[in-house]
Amino acid sequence: MWRTTTYLIGVCNSALLTVLALPLLLLPTLAVPWAVQHRQNADEYRKIPTDPGTPTTTRALLWLPIHATTGTPNP
């Protein structure tokens, strides 16, 4: 029972985060600054210099369809 409940909560959280992130996919003007900020945070965490260039929109938004696909439970 607990495993099922935990799994269901995890899937619901994943679906909710995907829906909340949908504007990033639909509005690239929001996605690029968001991706740049998170890349800079990751670079600071890894203690490497930040590349000043901005990523392409395709690369910045590639995580969303991957997250939606992998977060979907298999029937």
Residue with tokens 């910045």: 60
What are the pLDDT digits (tens) for 41-74?
A: 888 888 877 666 655 556 656 776 777 777 666 5
Contact 18, 12 (CB under 8 A): no
**Cα 13 from chain centre:** 13
Specify whether the CB–CB gap between 22 and 44 falls below 8 A: no
Domain extent listing, the chain: 2-70
Global pTM reads: 0.41
Is residue 56 within 8 A of residue 36, CB to CB? The reply is no
Token readout for 13 is 């959280």
